[in-house]
Amino acid sequence: MQGCLDAADLPLNVSRSYLQNEPQVRKIREVITSRVASKICDLARHDREAFSKIWDDIHTFVKYGMLRDDKFYDKVKDQVIFRTTDDCKYATLNEYLMRAAAKHDKKVYYANDEAAQATYIKLFKSQGMEILLLDAMIDSHFIQFLETKNSDVKFERVDSDLTENLLEEDRKIELAGPDEQKLQSAQVTELFEASLKATGLTVRVESLKDDSVSGMILLAEQTRRFKEMTRMMGQDGEMPDMFAEHTLMVNLKSPVVQNIVKLQEAKRDEDATMLAEQVYDLAMLSQRSFDKDRMEAFLARSNKILEKLGGMS
């Protein structure tokens, strides 16, 4: 036994709600909460390394306590740390915001799946941008809670949009396509829209500073959050499609995309369409698994591309 409560006026049958509202129990809870908060703050201030080592084991309980108790939140809010992609390993929210102020003031970029979002994380890191890793089940609620407590701070997942720091500054200066009146971005947009014909898809063409990425899927932050909340509250048969509305960002600077443009200019429309579909499917694979029919189509197309490349050698 870790401890017990005794009071002269306790009824024979004691419910949980009765205990929670009982004055003595409430006082005991407040004292224990205060001591736990003080212990967390002392350890975080005086031995950050030791605190970081135990954080993965205690963070769910700390965050839950902050969600439930405003007094507990006020005491520990400056000591809560987050795992990051930076060499520092862990950082408080204020430390992160201070380091990121020059590139994206008052905006927090985060990832909740290092494997699925590896392409996005790599893209951000290539431009010296730090990402918070929030992959616990409680984090989706905790993010919204922090936004209510810090109204000037916004959290955005790395696949929600592209920050200006990832885009070429002179991206609006483009070479004309085969039609001299048409910019290359418009040409690529029309090509991908005609090739894909996917429901709920929007094609967006940009020039990234990193040319290793040919295409990425972007999901609007607030729309995705709403659907995730609906999914958590709904039944199995009522699961919303997270990709009912999504954006394919095509990187105009990518050699792959430039090759697609050249194929279209050479009137090799079938090959251009095939590569456009491949760019889209590769981008989608990082976000979700395919059903049987789509996976078969993807594999067949991949083999066809390999055959064509083999025939060119």
Q: What is the pLDDT of residue 47?
A: 94
Give the model confidence (pLDDT) of 163-176 as tens digits. Answer: 888 888 765 545 55
Q: Which of 85-89, 144-148, 245-249, 263-267 has the lowest mean pLDDT?
A: 85-89
Nearest residue to 254 (alpha-carbon basis) of 158, 176, 179, 185: 185
What average pLDDT does this structure show over 201-212? 92
167-312 has which fold? Four Helix Bundle (Hemerythrin (Met), subunit A) (1.20.120)
CB 205 within 8 A of CB 248: no
Residues 6+ positions from 300 with CB-CB distance below 8 Å: none
Q: What is the pLDDT of residue 13?
A: 64
Q: What is the pLDDT of residue 286?
A: 80
For CA atoms 16, 21, 26, 30, the dihedral sign is positive
- Residue 92 in this model has a pLDDT that exceeds 90: yes
- Residue 181 in this model has a pLDDT that exceeds 70: no
Give the model confidence (pLDDT) of 11-65 as tens digits. Answer: 666 666 666 677 777 888 888 899 999 999 999 999 999 999 999 999 999 999 9
Q: Is 107 helix (H, G, I), strand (E, B) or coil?
A: strand
CB 92 within 8 A of CB 78: yes
Higher pLDDT, 286 or 113: 113
Q: What is the pLDDT of residue 263?
A: 92
Residue 290 — very low, low, confident or very high, per pLDDT cuts 50/70/90?
Answer: confident
Higher pLDDT, 8 or 183: 183
Euclidean distance between CA atoms 22 and 16, whole angstroms:
10
Answer whether 0.85 is exceeded by the pTM: no
Euclidean distance between CA atoms 288 and 267, whole angstroms:
33
Task: Tell me, yes or no, if the two domains 80-163 and 167-312 fold the same way.
Answer: no
Q: What is the largest CA-CA distance in the chain?
A: 91
Q: What is the pLDDT of residue 200?
A: 87
What is the second-level CATH architecture of the domain 80-163?
3-Layer(aba) Sandwich (3.40)
Domain ranges of the chain: 17-78, 80-163, 167-312
- Residue 4 in this model has a pLDDT that exceeds 90: no
Q: Which residue has the tokens 């981008």?
A: 283
Q: What is the pLDDT of residue 58?
A: 95
Q: Is 132 helix (H, G, I), strand (E, B) or coil?
A: strand
Q: What is the pLDDT of residue 89?
A: 86
Higher pLDDT, 94 or 288: 94
Neighbours of 126 (CB within 10 A): 14
Q: What is the pLDDT of residue 294?
A: 86
